[in-house]
Each structure stands twice: as structure tokens, then as C-alpha cells.
């Protein structure tokens, strides 16, 4: 099994809020990325892990007594269409791959759900509607996990959504579009299919400063150590 944490977004909606890149924001007094790495490793000691970094990133990967690989993405691979595919070289060719997005705070229940998802299909972990605990009004995908036998299927779905974005059928090729393509749902239609684990707790993707501020209010975490 391999864990991949993409942290290479352009952060256009973030605007340098609070100083650091959003995956280094403090959550309960610890940088988000550090906490995610630590907690996944506590769940499965020695879990093979790769962090995908933006070329402008200047961060330290913490040493928790295990090796974490990291790769700085070239600029031509940045953007929504490559959010999943840019890590392709690190997908497990024989077993399970987990892609857990780096700007997400994962609750214990969410980490358990990610690690417990073991089927022969591509499975998504997220929230299909507004958050009842985080007060964020949008649906979110937090992670995706898949066996080696489904790699080609996932790559093909990503290619279809990227082509649809290039053709102007959809605005961007996002993870939700890949999900719909795999579930046989038209890309222009919003509805849920199967292969989705619902998580509606404090788990949250920090898309923008308002989202982070709302989460801090809901969770009781101090908003920022960098203000």
C-alpha cells in the first residue's frame, strides 16, 4: 500500500492568507501536513508515503522516524487536470494506492474510512453536500483509494475529463468530474452514484480563508499561529 499526499496546488483562492501555504496551517497547534503524515503513520507504521510539492514550496518534511519521499512538480503539471495524474509514477503497481489531499484536515473517523476501504473498485471518500459540523456549504472529495487493477480505468477517466475541460464542456477537470465519469454520470449533471464513503464531521478541505476560519470556529482550534 502507498499513500500519496498532493500539496502542489496554485492556491489561487488562498491569497497568502496567514502567511504559509494552506497545508502548513496550524490545526490544534500542529501544521496540517505534519499532522496528516503523523496520524497516517500512527495508523499504519511504515506506510510508504510520498508528498507532491509545488515548485515554489519551501517547507521541511518532518522526521517522525520514517522515510517520506517528496517530489517537486514541474509547472506544466500543475492545475486541476493533473491533481490526480501528476502522482502516477508513485501509484502502487501491485497493491492499493491512497491519494489523500494535502489541504484536508482528516478526523480519526475519516482516516479509518480511508484505510478501511478495500474493494476491487475505485473508492472515494468525501462529503456529498454541506457540512453539518463545519458549516461549509459545498460538497468535498477528501481522498480516493484504488487497487492496481483499476489504474488504467482511472487514467482513462482522468483523460476524458481533461478532454471535456479543453473542449469547454466543463469548466475544469476536477476530482468530482472524474468520479462522475467513473460512475457513468454525465459530467454536466450533479448527482451521486456508488463507490463513495460519506464523511460529515470536522473533516474539511481548506479551499479558502473563509473555509479555514469557519472550521476553526467549529473545531475550537486557534485560527493561526502565523497572524
Q: Directed axis angle between helix 175-182 and helix 151-166, to 10°?
A: 120
CATH number of 2-219: 3.90.550.10
Region 113-129: what's the mean pLDDT? Answer: 91
Separation of alpha carbons 17 and 5, rounded Å: 21
Look at residue 19 and tell me whether its pLDDT is greater than 50: yes
How many Å apart are CA 16 and CA 177, to the nearest integer? 28
Domain range annotation of the chain? 2-219
Question: Is the predicted pLDDT of residue 211 greater than 70, yes or no?
Answer: yes
Average pLDDT of the segment spanning 158-182:
90
pTM, 2 dp: 0.88
- Band of the pLDDT at 82, cuts 50, 70, 90? low
- Position 225 scores a pLDDT of 47
Q: State the Cα–Cα distance between residues 222 and 216, nearest whole angstrom.
A: 6
Residue 6 pairs with which residues in a beta bridge?
52
Q: Give how far Cα 62 sits from Cα of 35, 36, 37, 38, 65, Å.
A: 10, 11, 9, 9, 9
Amino acid at each position: 500500500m502507498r499513500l500519496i499526499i498532493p500539496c502542489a496546488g496554485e492556491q489561487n483562492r488562498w491569497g497568502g492568507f496567514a502567511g504559509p501555504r494552506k497545508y502548513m496551517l496550524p490545526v490544534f497547534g500542529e501544521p496540517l501536513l505534519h499532522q496528516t503524515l503523523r496520524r497516517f503513520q500512527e495508523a499504519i507504521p511504515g506506510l510508504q508515503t510520498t508528498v507532491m510539492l509545488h515548485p515554489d514550496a519551501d517547507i521541511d518534511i518532518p522526521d517522525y522516524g520514517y522515510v517520506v519521499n517528496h517530489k517537486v512538480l514541474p509547472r506544466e503539471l500543475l492545475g486541476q487536470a493533473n491533481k490526480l495524474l501528476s502522482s502516477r509514477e508513485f501509484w502502487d503497481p501491485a497493491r492499493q494506492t491512497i491519494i489523500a489531499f494535502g489541504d484536508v484536515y482528516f478526523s480519526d473517523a475519516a482516516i479509518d474510512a480511508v484505510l478501511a476501504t478495500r474493494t476491487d473498485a475505485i473508492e472515494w471518500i468525501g462529503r456529498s453536500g454541506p457540512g453539518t459540523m463545519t458549516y461549509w456549504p459545498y460538497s468535498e472529495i477528501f481522498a480516493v483509494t484504488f487497487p492496481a487493477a483499476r489504474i488504467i480505468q482511472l487514467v482513462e477517466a482522468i483523460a476524458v475529463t481533461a478532454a471535456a475541460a479543453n473542449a469547454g464542456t466543463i469548466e475544469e477537470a476536477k476530482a468530482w468530474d472524474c468520479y462522475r465519469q467513473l460512475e457513468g454520470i454525465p459530467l454536466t449533471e450533479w448527482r451521486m452514484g456508488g463507490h463513495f464513503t460519506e464523511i460529515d464531521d470536522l473533516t474539511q478541505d481548506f479551499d479558502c480563508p473563509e473555509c479555514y476560519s469557519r472550521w476553526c470556529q467549529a473545531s475550537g482550534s486557534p485560527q493561526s499561529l502565523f497572524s
